[in-house]
Each structure stands twice: as structure tokens, then as C-alpha cells.
Structure 1
Amino acid sequence: MPVLKKSEFVELFNEMYQPVKNYVYYKTGDMEVAEDVVQDTFVKIWEKREEIRPKTVKALLYTIAGNLCKNRFEHQQVVFEFANNYKHEFNNSSPEFELELKEFEAKLQGAIEKLNEKNRTVFLMNRIDGLTYKQIAENLELSVKAVEKRMKNALSELKETIEYKI
């Protein structure tokens, strides 16, 4: 079985660090967590370099990063809920517009968060990262048709949720 060489690892790191970090950021919503997870992902790749097939290493990056995200997701949710439940609303000088804007942003963020993880990931990789369906399919080891279906589902869910809430 081929071993991932140091030069190949460096090339992989330079090429995939930012896309994998963005992928993790879309899943977690936290740039610091994204930095930590992507670094841990590359450490795991390096540690397992003797077992990795170079042909599938890019997809493996996303798989490892996704699994690491799942390990942190519950913690992030608890912190988020705590922050929302214990915010003090002592600032009476904020204009009504800012309040409405915050409510809309919360509704939009909530709508994106309510998407199932597969649809949300495809949606954010396309809309934020600017990846094509083909690139997303390659990164997630899916068919282009599967990516198209997930995007269609994401857009339908967002439209329905936002129209219902607003």
C-alpha cells in the first residue's frame, strides 16, 4: 500500500487546509473551532499516512473533519443555549430597527441551522465557498445528482421556513 510522503502531505495541506477549514466552519459556526478541528484533521492524516490511499485522501479529510465536528457539536450547542438564555437585556437605548434586524438574522440563522446536516453542508459549500456541484461531489464522495438533490432540498426548506416565520 502506498505511503503518503512528506512532500505529498505538504502539498495536500497547502491545497486543502482552507477548504476543509471552511467546511468545518459551516458545520460549527465557530472559526476557532474550525481552526482546531482542521489542525486535528491533518494530524490524524499524518499519523495514519501509512494506511492512506492517496486517491481517496481528500475525501478522507472531510470524513475525519466531519467526525471531529460531531464530537464537538453537543458542547457548542450547550454553550450557545447558555449564552442565549442568560443574555441581559439592559440596553434600552438600542433602536427598534436594530432589534428587528437581530430578530431577522436569528430567524435566518435558525432556518439554516434547522437544515439537516447533509443539506446544510452542501448549501454552505456552494453559497459561501463558491464550490461547484462537481467539486462538492468530489469532496464529499457523492454523485453530482446527489449534491443537486441536497441543494434543492436545502433551498426548499429555507424558503418554506423563512416564509412561514416572517
Structure 2
Amino acid sequence: MRREDFKNLFDTHFDALRNYLFYRYGDADLATDIAQEAFLKLWEKQIDKPPEEQIKLLYKIAKDDLISKLRRQQVEMKFNTRPPDKTKSITPEEELNYKELKIRYERALKEMPEIQREVFLMSRNDDLKYHEIANRLDLSIKAVEKRMKNALQYLREALTTL
């Protein structure tokens, strides 16, 4: 599909597709997002068919995406509205143990050597991969791995000793 043909298809059918989705669901923002995604998928497929078939395919893609999003929302709603599990109540002893462990963890982090703490927190709190940490700190990946190993070993020792 040529760029000009796609632009023409987009210009002539975007509003109609968005309105179709809006009337089916009633959310203008969702309708706009799905319509844009449908056009993007059609462009990525680069299907060489007559315009009538491309329009049909466009509507099918949009309808399938809408149904998929609605199903996902239903699953999320069921998950969020389910009653809490009463069998997993925390005893006062478990809560006290957790608080003590948290205090020891925070103390161990403060006492941990800075080079290890920096790598550990970038990995755990910032969810960075080792290669990303290596790039930010201008280190080799092996150096990051070693610092992380040492940090975990330090924490393990600090948390298991009383």
C-alpha cells in the first residue's frame, strides 16, 4: 500500500470508524485509541487489496480490538471486586516478625558499602537490568554482577544473624 493511498484511506474513514466504535462502547477516548491502533495494524500488514476489502479489514481489526479490550476490562473488574481472602490473615506474631525484619533490612541497607548499595537499589527499586546499570555507572556488566552478588550476600548475612 502506498503512503498516499493509506493517507487517503485514513482521512476518509477515520472519523467513521471512530464513531462506529464510540456508538458500540460509549467511550470517545477508547474509540479514538482503537481506531488509531487499527489503522496502524493495517499499515504494518501492508496488504495489497482493493480499498473496499481494506475498509472491511479495518473494521474487523477495530472490532476485534474492542472486544479484546472489553474482555480484559471484565477480567480486571472481576479480579478487583472479588472479596479478600480471609484465610490469609496475618497473626500479630507474623506482623511483629515482619516489622523486625524490615528494621533489620533498612539498617543493613544503610550499613552496606555504597558501591554495592547503589547497584542493588538500581536493580531492585528502579528495575534496571545489569547492562543498563553498567551503562549508567560506566562499569562492565561483570563488575555490576559482582557488586550485586556481594550486596545480596551482605543482606543475607545481615538478615539471618540475630
Would the TM-score normalized by the shorter structure come out above 0.5?
no
Greater Cα radius of gyration, structure 1 or 2: 2
The structure, 1 or 2, with the larger RCO (C-alpha pairs under 8 Å, 6+ apart) is 1
When normalised by structure 2's length, the TM-score is 0.43
TM-score (norm 1): 0.42
